[in-house]
Amino acid sequence: MPALLSGLEAPVSNLRKSVVIALGKIGDRSVRLLLASVRNDPDAQVRKLAVQLL
């Protein structure tokens, strides 16, 4: 889990998208809170993906 969390801060948006997908597959409540925080990501596709997975 810590490796995934650090991936949310990656400068490459494709990596952040992959992390969001992986977190979405976990489905735990704490993960939902993390996905909610991704709604502020600078990349529109990452934000959209996080909202879809919520």
What's the DSSP call for residue 1? Answer: -
* 2: helix, strand or coil: helix
Listed in sequence order, the DSSP H helices in 1-54 are 2-7, 13-26, 29-37, 44-53
Predicted confidence (pLDDT) per residue in 1-54, tens digit:
777 888 989 999 999 999 999 988 887 788 888 888 888 899 999 999 988 988
Tokens of 17: 């998208």
Task: Taking each helix axis as running N to C, give the angle between helix 29-37 and helix 44-53, from 0 to 180 degrees, rounded to the nearest 10.
Answer: 150
pLDDT for position 17: 95
The pTM assigned to this predicted structure is 0.83
Alpha carbons 38 and 7: distance in angstroms, whole number: 12
